[in-house]
A = this chain, B = another copy of it.
Amino acid sequence: MSLSLKSIAKALNVSRTTVSWVLAGKGDEKKISLATQERVLEYAKKANYQPNLLAKSLISGESKTIGLVVPSIGDEFYAQIARVIELKAESCGFTLTFCSSEADSEREAKMIQMLKSKMVDGLIIAPTKHSKREIESLINESFPFVLIDRFFPELDTNYVLVDNEGGCYQLTKHLLALGRKKVAFVTTDTNLVVMGLRYNGYKKALSDTKNRLNSNLYIEVKRSDYEKELIKAFDRLFHEVPDVDGFCFATHYLALEGLRYFYAHHINITKRISLACFHGSPSFSILAPNMSLAIQPIEGIGEEAVNVLIQNIEKKKTENRQIVLPVKMCFHS
């Protein structure tokens, strides 16, 4: 269908090698006459020749493609990460193929397998909670990869994370410093290590300020159907602890549902309670200008992930790198 080196060679009555050399810019080096070089270049341009990169990859053993595996590309956070990764990867000559695991580790395993079969040069993965197995086998094959957003403390891998614990620690401390006494922590998916870290930050802030941990102030909702779950949990919370006066949300989507609840119940989110959230969303500055935020450095995560991965791809060796980026604190009263 599309024209190949071979067909150019045939048309010009020269060998494939000659054409290959000229188009690769090695014409002079390989002592191809100027006349021939011009003939080849002109023909290639006129016919709009584009090399088949699959063939090239087959030989070179590198596809210049990175596989990105995230729970869902439809998620605002991962979509923005994907954008940064794409731009950074492109500047290094790589394109991106992505797969959404839909938070299903079997699906994830299949996608990783597929990407490897398509000969991606490396993977950037935001793993699901049960994908330790798959990650271990990547380690065994010493296939280049970097984890982002989530990790496995017991595995020695590359990863790029943010300071989950520190972020929630600072947010909680800020709420307490504002004079709040009963600060609730709202979280989900607690078998994810990073969620545990966020909770640790909350707990540490409490104990550092001699506040007692109150289990009634701990709200955990299941990931699926979290909207309704949260309403139920909040109804109970406001019944059990009517004078709750602060909220630290572990994720932006929980915070959005929390805000929906506060608005629906006419709860004064300036006077009666203070708010904080790990990461944010554009609408928060309108909905709750006073909410304090620990913003994840999306650019940094993406760029570091690509950096680490490409280093790993290029010099097969290299030790694993564990990067923890600081969050950007935005305090409000």
Determine if A80 and B74 form an interchain contact, defined as CB atoms under 8 angstroms apart. Answer: yes
Once the chains are docked, how many angstroms separate the CA of A260 from the CA of B58? 53
- Mark interface residues in A120-143 (1 if CB within 8 Å of B CB, else 0): 000000000000000000000100
Chain B CB within 8 A of A283 CB:
yes
Q: Does A97 contact B (CB under 8 A)?
A: yes
Question: Given A283-B283, A287-B286, A117 and B53 touching (CB < 8 A)?
Answer: yes
A50 contacts B113, C-beta separation under 8 Å: yes
Q: Which of A31-39, A82-90, A229-237, A241-249 contacts B (4 or more CB under 8 A)?
A: A82-90
A251 CB-CB contact with B under 8 Å: no
Q: Which of A51, A84, A100 has the most CB of B within 10 A?
A: A100
Interface size on A, residues (CB 8 A): 52
Whether A97 touches B95, Cβ cut-off 8 Å, given contacts A117-B50, A283-B256, is: yes
Check: A61 CB closer than 8 A to any chain B CB. Answer: yes
Q: In the complex, what's the smallest C-beta–C-beta distance from A166 to chain B, in angstroms? A: 26
From A72, which residue of chain B is reached at the shortest CB distance?
B83
A332 an interface residue at 8 Å Cβ cutoff? no
Residue A281 at the B interface, CB < 8 A?
A: yes
Check A65 for interface membership: any CB of B closer than 8 A: yes
A285 within 8 A of B: yes
A119 beta carbon closer than 8 Å to chain B: yes
| Bound form: Cα–Cα A78–B114 in Å | 24
Bound Cα distance A2, B121 (Å): 13
B residues in contact with A117, CB < 8 Å: 50-53
A86 touches B99 (CB 8 A): yes
Which residue of B is nearest A80, CB measured? Answer: B74
Give the chain B neighbours of A61 by CB distance below 8 A.
1
Q: Contacts A99-B95, A283-B281, A285-B260 known; A118 to B74 CB distance under 8 Å?
A: no
Q: Indicate which residue in B58, B78, B100 contacts A86 across the interface (CB closer than 8 Å).
A: B100
Query: Which residues from 49 to 71 on chain A have a C-beta closer than 8 Å to any C-beta of chain B?
Result: 50-55, 57-58, 61, 63, 65
Q: Does A19 lie at the interface of the complex (its beta carbon under 8 Å from any beta carbon of B)?
A: no
Known: A58-B54, A95-B118. Is A73-B63 also a contact (CB below 8 A)?
no
Which of B74, B79, B98 sits near A96, CB closer than 8 Å?
Answer: B98
* Known A97-B65, A287-B283, A287-B287: A83·B74 in contact at CB below 8 Å: yes
Contacts of A102 in B (CB 8 A): 87
Query: How far is the CB of A137 from the nearest CB of chain B, in Å?
Result: 8
A76 contacts B by Cβ under 8 Å? yes
A89-120: CB near B (< 8 Å → 1, else 0) gives: 01000011111101000000000011111110
Residues of B with C-beta under 8 A to A55: 58
A285 to chain B, nearest CB (A): 7
Q: A residues engaging B (CB < 8 A)?
A: 1-2, 50-55, 57-58, 61, 63, 65, 72-76, 78-80, 82-84, 86-87, 90, 95-100, 102, 113-119, 141, 256, 259-260, 263, 281-283, 285-287
Counting from the closest, the 4 A-B pairs by CB-CB distance are A74-B83, A79-B79, A283-B283, A97-B97
Other contacts beyond A73-B83, A96-B98: 6, CB < 8 A = A65-B97, A72-B83, A87-B100, A97-B97, A256-B286, A259-B286
